Amino acid sequence: MNSQAGASRLCCAYVLLVILHAFATAVTAQDAPDDDGVASTTVSMTPPEPLLLLNETELADLNQIGSGGSTEPVSFVSTSTVESTPSSSSSSSSSSSSSSSSSESSSSSTSTTTTTPVVAPLENKTMSQEEIQKLLLPPATVEADILHVNISDDNHPHAKANGKDSDCPTLEGADHMSQTQLLTRLTHVCRYDRLERPRESLNGKSRPVKVFARAYIYFMQNLEAHDLQFKIHALLQFRYVDPRLVFREVAPNRTKPIMGEQSLRDLLWVPHVFLANERSSDILGTAEKDILTSISPDGTVIVSTRISATLYCWMNLQKFPFDEQHCSTVLESWMYNLDDLVLLWEHKSPVTLAPELHLTEYVLLEMFTNETIINADLSDLRHGAFAGNYSSLSFTVHLAREMGFYMMDYFIPSIMLVAISWVTFWLQADQSAPRITLGTSTMLTFITLASAQGKTLPKVSYIKASEIWFLGCTGFIFGSLVEFAFVNTIWRRKRNVEVKKVNSKHVLKQALTPRPARKDMSGLHKSHSCTSLADSATTVSANSFNNYLTVHSFPQKSNSSQTLPVITTTDVDRSPSDAQSNGNVAIQIDSQTDSGTTNGNGWTTMTPQEVAIWIDKRSRFAFPIAFVIFNVFYWTFVYYI
């Protein structure tokens, strides 16, 4: 009985040790995964070696248990060697508290050897892990415990394979999805990156994205010449194909495009196109910005934007106000050069003007589009610090200025002012006050008119057509003032002049350089000046310097008789009656005419008053004729040159 009880206790101890050993092996194998990421445990059975001596009865009982009746005592050492590393997994701390001491002793070192006296069958073989587990515990319980121990969140990358974070949402059943659901799945990060442009390849070579543009002009403001700018309201539309957004195959029943506004645009890659000659711009809209985005089933994306832009127009004002201007709107790619993006105009109606569009100061002659390539380098930082060739689009309007406003407010009034300045030619040369007043008032009025018109123009270095007109009109008005000063000076002269012929050449020559009258040596040829003819001894009065006597020789009317000149006396400052009462006289010839007197030598004598009147008469025709000639040359220049 004692021997049987000892054998039973020995068997129980053996079973308990084997269970503890298997548990420690499983925990240690968890921390040392193999190449497949699954922890493995290898239990090797070494050949039996005698460890201790038992009595004959105990050996017999053990042999019967281990070998089924064999009486040969066998004892061997079971050794399991497990390579393990320190583990930080939380699963190792979940072992039961009843076996914690045995577990610590089996996993505290890198290599642990456990020696246990057991009784095994006489056959020398290696037992597998499955055979040991089947011998110890039911298979279902053991497999469940091992599965719980081996699963770790840190060591298994597929532990979250069914999670939402790492999943790429499927496009199955896209026909039954809402527009937002389909768009969310199309633009998911696993399929779409809005920072990258659409990729198209041909024969293994990447091709640039073709972006087609169209513009519709709602409104165009008149050109502001003083600021060299104009303002437009337009709809800009860009069309391109993005293969990543094709949903025709996954949703064959969806034939209508996906429509959205700015929120949809923010989800997509959109080409960055800017206005190269922009001064300021803004997207129109009241509550929301006027942005329309459309995605077709074949991946065609259309982005439409209503904008208000103030653009520079470098005007040429040499023929102002008869000028014609070419103002362009230039679109260029900002980020991508010609290798990545190409801008093209739509083949049909690239630029359209609103039917109700009307300009007040200009008339639209023509409009044309252009596609160019802009070369940017380090000296041209229009594209930041990036050098290369960039695609560019432009549409240009050819405008001609309307002349109605300037004709009515500038040219016709200036012509009238010049004509008014000629009125002075009909006034007598000694009427200084009216002639000076008329000349200066016309001059000041014209300068005020020209300055008001010039305030709307920029200060340019070259001469404009309006300035030529201003200088011409000012010259004619100033000429009328100079003519008055000239004739008034001649009018106040006291000496007659003799001219060989009464024409412009000789009269002006004698008026500019007067000479005394030529003497005729036959007959009365001397000129005398005196204060009185009554008595040569008469005392000269105090005001005798205002009286003069001029005696000219007259040609003889006939060969038979000579007639002396008839002399009358007149006071230049007083009436004839007053002059006689004072005794101061002036002698002048009564036979003078308005056209002068011709002497025997063929010279004509003209008084200063006659010369002044003669110049005024000629100016009445010379000034208008010169002004007409100036107008002929001026209007020919502005319209035909």
Which is nearest to 253 in space by CA: 201, 352, 177?
Answer: 177
The pLDDT of residue 591: 42
Q: At a CB cut-off of 8 Å and minimum separation 6, what does 35 contact?
A: none
Mean pLDDT to the nearest integer, 456-470: 89
The pLDDT of residue 445: 94
Reported as a pLDDT band with limits 50, 70 and 90, residue 498 is confident
The pLDDT of residue 408: 93
What are the residue ranges of helices labelled H in 31-154? 56-67, 100-107, 129-136, 139-150
The secondary structure element, H or E, covering residue 512 is: helix 504-512
**pLDDT score of 3 more than 70:** no
Contact between 151 and 159 (Cβ < 8 Å): yes
The pLDDT of residue 605: 79
The pLDDT of residue 543: 42
Q: Which residue has the tokens 């959109």?
A: 270
Contact between 29 and 87 (Cβ < 8 Å): no
Q: What tokens appear for 369 in the block? A: 């589009």
Q: At a CB cut-off of 8 Å and minimum separation 6, what does 253 contact?
A: 175
Q: How far is CA 468 from CA 244, 474, 638, in A?
A: 64, 10, 11
**Hey, which of 293-302, 518-527, 559-568 has the most confident mean pLDDT?**
293-302
Mean pLDDT to the nearest integer, 593-598: 50
Q: How far is CA 244 from CA 156, 181, 211, 248, 267, in A?
A: 32, 16, 16, 11, 13
* CA distance linking residue 146 with residue 143, whole number of Å: 5
Q: Which residue has the tokens 């069914």?
A: 162
203 SS3 class: coil
**pLDDT score of 14 more than 70:** yes
Contact between 284 and 234 (Cβ < 8 Å): no
Mean pLDDT to the nearest integer, 58-86: 41
More confident call, 93 vs 409 = 409
* CA distance linking residue 413 with residue 508, whole number of Å: 33
Q: What tokens appear for 189 in the block? A: 């990060």
pLDDT over 70, % of the chain: 61
DSSP of 258-309: EEE-HHHHTTS----EEETTEEEEEE-BSSSB-EEEEE-TTSEEEEEEEEEE
**pLDDT score of 293 more than 90:** yes
Strands 117-118 and 341-345: unpaired
The pLDDT of residue 224: 83
The pLDDT of residue 79: 38
Q: What tokens appear for 387 in the block? A: 């050098």
505 SS3 class: helix
* CA distance linking residue 143 with residue 130, whole number of Å: 10
The pLDDT of residue 78: 39
Q: What tokens appear for 490 in the block? A: 């001649």
* CA distance linking residue 32 with residue 438, whole number of Å: 117
Which is nearest to 41 in space by CA: 55, 58, 21, 59?
Answer: 21
147 SS3 class: helix
Q: What share of the chain is helix, strand, coil (3-state, %, to 5)?
A: 35, 20, 45
Mean pLDDT to the nearest integer, 551-561: 44
Reported as a pLDDT band with limits 50, 70 and 90, residue 443 is very high
**pLDDT score of 583 more than 50:** no
Which amino acid, residue 273? V
Q: How far is CA 302 from CA 36, 271, 567, 617, in A?
A: 50, 11, 108, 79
Mean pLDDT to the nearest integer, 377-395: 82
The secondary structure element, H or E, covering residue 231 is: strand 229-241
* CA distance linking residue 330 with residue 281, whole number of Å: 13
**pLDDT score of 19 more than 50:** yes
**pLDDT score of 150 more than 70:** no
Largest CA distance in the chain: 212
Task: Check the CA dihedral 575-581-583-588 and report its sign.
Answer: positive
The secondary structure element, H or E, covering residue 367 is: strand 362-376
Contact between 594 and 610 (Cβ < 8 Å): yes
Which amino acid, residue 276? A
Reported as a pLDDT band with limits 50, 70 and 90, residue 266 is very high
Omega within 30 of 0 (cis) for the link into 198: no
Neighbours of 460 (CB within 10 A): 15
More confident call, 111 vs 223 = 223
The secondary structure element, H or E, covering residue 328 is: strand 324-333
Burial per residue of 176-200, b for 16 or more beta-carbon CB atoms within 10 angstroms, e otherwise: ebeeeebbebbbeeeebeeeebbee
> Picking from 350-359, 461-470, 509-518, which range would have the lowest pLDDT averaged per residue?
509-518
What are the residue ranges of helices labelled H in 345-407? 404-406
Q: Which residue has the tokens 């006659």?
A: 610
The pLDDT of residue 199: 87
Mean pLDDT to the nearest integer, 310-323: 92
Q: At a CB cut-off of 8 Å and minimum separation 6, what does 279 contact?
A: 229, 310, 311, 312
Which is nearest to 39 in space by CA: 146, 191, 164, 167?
Answer: 146
The pLDDT of residue 600: 52
**pLDDT score of 471 more than 80:** yes
96-132 pLDDT, tens digit each: 333 333 333 333 333 333 444 444 444 445 566 666 5
Which segments of 377-448 are extended strands (E)? Answer: 388-401
Mean pLDDT to the nearest integer, 594-602: 54
What are the residue ranges of helices labelled H in 292-411? 404-406
Burial class (CB in 10 A: 0-12, 13-18, 19+), 618: middle
Q: What are the beta bridge partners of residue 33?
A: 39
pLDDT over 90, % of the chain: 39
**pLDDT score of 94 more than 50:** no
**pLDDT score of 75 more than 60:** no
More confident call, 153 vs 314 = 314
Per-residue DSSP letter, 122: S
Q: What are the beta bridge partners of residue 400?
A: 324, 363
Phi-psi group of 173: left, alpha or beta (phi > 0 → left; psi -120 to 50 → alpha; rest → beta): left
* CA distance linking residue 10 with residue 75, whole number of Å: 13
**pLDDT score of 526 more than 60:** no
DSSP of 513-563: S--PPPPPSSSS------S-SS-TTPPPPTTGGG--B-------S-SS---
pTM over 0.75: no
**pLDDT score of 593 more than 70:** no
Residue 637: what are its φ and ψ, rounded to 5°?
-65, -45
More confident call, 457 vs 585 = 457
